[in-house]
Amino acid sequence: MFEVDKEKCIHCGLCIKDCSAKALQFNDENVPEIDEKKCFECQHCLAVCPVGAISVCGKKPENSDKIYFQNPDMILNLIKSRRSYRHYKQENLSKDKIQKLKYMLNYVPTGCNFHKLHFAFIDDIEVMNQFRDYVNKKIVDALTKKPVKAIINKFNRHLKSFLNGEDVVFRGAPHMVVVSTPVDAPCYNVDPMIALSYFELYAQSMNVGTCWCGLAEFCLLIMPELSDYLNIPKGYKASYVMLFGEPDIKYARTIQPEPFEIESVQKGTFKKLGFVDKMKRYFWNLK
């Protein structure tokens, strides 16, 4: 799984330095060699080698992309101009854009390089409309029947809109992606959110509108048949949903958000906390 082109290797040791699993070391000929048991397949060795001497996990350096990104201001502008879209054209996004979005997902980071996310795409507006109609009908039914109403009281404040036929949950989006993780993934609660954050920004860089959808996530929770319909594999939990499609609205400028509290910790000694304060912190951190 790990090959070094001895003609190319300059014995710089960068691959060894950057191997966080400590799976690499120089052999007697001063060439890096691997302890495969320790490797967790992050491919940092392939990425860091300045002369492209390392192939790993069947991947050759000549098949990697060059790194040419140079304009952080463009990224900042993209982040600032990102919006939640709630108006979409009633048409399919181009196949090319959908393909690019799917391809990008292979590059998102996962804790411990677990790399086992599952993405269920609805990339056909007709399928989306079927899905939407099914969910909306079930919500309206439940909202008008007393015994079930309590389960979905989250939707109560939208009752009027639902009865008016408004698409409160899916915002008229022609597409959605549902990300799921194995329930035993080391970072099951974080990996899906990272993936969708990358998805959102890359989508908006291509003028594709997106919207995080907590309401759809709730629907997946209370209607288990939806996960089956989406072919979410056994042992996986649907984590979050993002709507997307060709926007039917254009934002002319960025917003001006209230700043978060962002503090730099100063040099100093640790405070001695009393027992009660310690316990408060302890339980608060566990929440």
Ligand X SMILES: Cc1cc2nc3c(=O)[nH]c(=O)nc-3n(C[C@H](O)[C@H](O)[C@H](O)COP(=O)(O)O)c2cc1C
Question: How do beta strands 32-34 and 236-245 pair?
Answer: unpaired
The amino acid that residue 65 corresponds to is: D
- Shortest reach from residue 282's CB to ligand X, in Å: 27
83 lies in the site for ligand X, by CB under 6 A: yes
171 lies in the site for ligand X, by CB under 6 A: yes
Of 84, 97, 109, whose CA–CA distance to 186 is shortest? Answer: 109
Of 203, 92, 217, whose CA–CA distance to 154 is shortest? Answer: 217
132 lies in the site for ligand X, by CB under 6 A: no
Compare residues 45 and 208 and give the one whose CB is closer to ligand X.
208
Structure tokens at 68: 């040419």
| Listed ranges 126-134, 149-157, 198-206, 212-220: which one lies at the site for ligand X (CB under 6 A) | 212-220
CA–CA gap between residue 201 and residue 108 (Å, rounded): 12
84 lies in the site for ligand X, by CB under 6 A: yes
214 lies in the site for ligand X, by CB under 6 A: yes
For ligand X (CB under 6 A), the number of binding residues is 9
* Cα separation values, 56 from 35, 82, 100, 286, Å: 12, 37, 25, 39
Compare residues 104 and 193 and give the one whose CB is closer to ligand X.
193
Q: Binding ligand X by CB under 6 A: which of 121, 198, 212, 229? A: 212
64 lies in the site for ligand X, by CB under 6 A: no
Compare residues 83 and 100 and give the one whose CB is closer to ligand X.
83
25 lies in the site for ligand X, by CB under 6 A: no
CA–CA gap between residue 241 and residue 215 (Å, rounded): 9
215 lies in the site for ligand X, by CB under 6 A: yes
* Number of other residues whose CB lies within 10 A of the CB of residue 190: 15
117 lies in the site for ligand X, by CB under 6 A: no
Q: Are 183 and 227 in contact (CB under 8 A)?
A: no
CA–CA gap between residue 39 and residue 191 (Å, rounded): 20
Q: Binding ligand X by CB under 6 A: which of 122, 173, 211, 219? A: 211
Residues that bind ligand X (CB under 6 A): 83-84, 86, 171, 211-215
